[in-house]
Amino acid sequence: MAHCCIGWRPAPDVAPYRWEFESEGREFELAVEPAVTTNNMRVMVRTACADGGLTFGREALPGARRA
């Protein structure tokens, strides 16, 4: 199953964030192939809220819509 993902990279010289998951008590990370990547957490969440793709949330943002 393919999804349009929104990635996050804190800086140009830093690797993109690897998404963190847990399954059956086992934690693992997964590198996604995002359609768009940003270094701005607010832009990332707003893009997702505008149906721009799936993303993760690391912290609560004031005014962010929760699914």
8-52 confidence digits (pLDDT tens): 998 999 999 998 889 999 999 999 899 999 999 889 989 999 999
Average pLDDT on 46-59 reads 85
Query: What are the b/e assignments for 14-32, b being 16+ CB within 10 Å?
Result: eeebebeeeeeeeeeeeeb
Q: Return the pLDDT at 34.
A: 92
pLDDT band at 64 (very low <50, low <70, confident <90, very high): low
Give the number of other CB atoms < 10 A from CB of residue 35: 14
Q: Return the pLDDT at 61.
A: 56
54 φ/ψ angles, rounded to the nearest 5 degrees: -90, 145
pTM across the whole model: 0.71
Q: Return the pLDDT at 2.
A: 79
CA dihedral defined by 11, 64, 61, 9, rounded to 10 degrees? -10
